[in-house]
Structure 1
Amino acid sequence: MSEAPPERQNGPGPQAVLRLPDGQSLHTTVSHRFQEADGSWWYDVEVTLWNVVIDRSGIRTAEPYPITIRVAADNVSPIDGQDYRTVPTTRSHLAVKRSRSGGRRIGPSAHR
């Protein structure tokens, strides 16, 4: 599991609702957001699931286990009252250039 960005190690980030592929939803903690070169947005969110833990005597127990996953922004919904301004944001330099050029492609492209 990857470590949370340094900005998030001192406390949890804002909560959001994650829509699962089967239509269920659950609350998550948003730790980072990314914009890819194609302009799409992705979020790193932490969900806590059950995981087996085996102690020294071989006894198995289930304990909460946080997992960080990256999901498309379309699957993440804000929760009223949460402050998302503190979420670290990384934008692709190509997406930024494209937005500043009015959407025109910058530089060579393999598919024209």
Structure 2
Amino acid sequence: MLAKRRREIERQIFEDYIKEMIEQDKEEGTKTIPPTRIVKYYDLLDEAWGWSRLLLFTGVTRSDYSKYLEDYYRRNARELVPAAAAATGSSSIAALAETVSNHLPLTLST
């Protein structure tokens, strides 16, 4: 019973923090990335960590962002996607997309 109450309090504190973060972002015109523990509260993910916070929309050119993604892929693909080891010699975004898509479960239905 005590553990359940503790989880409820922790969630409420985190939910209040997220609301304040979003309000502050609106006032300042920023898009703060929420703390990683947001994944514990999947129902808050859409509001607190949607596409507008996940992807950059301003601040850098597309080519600079593409170079960043390619460099990130080169440095991390072997650890993040074990089957990507063969593809890490390539720095193309297409190789990254293909490698990742090959490891995603098909969830679309027609």
Alignment TM class, shorter chain as reference: under 0.3
- What TM-score, normalized to structure 1? 0.24
TM-score by length of 2: 0.25
Greater relative contact order structure (CA < 8 Å, 6+ sep): 1
Greater per-residue helix proportion: 2
> Which protein has the bigger strand share?
1
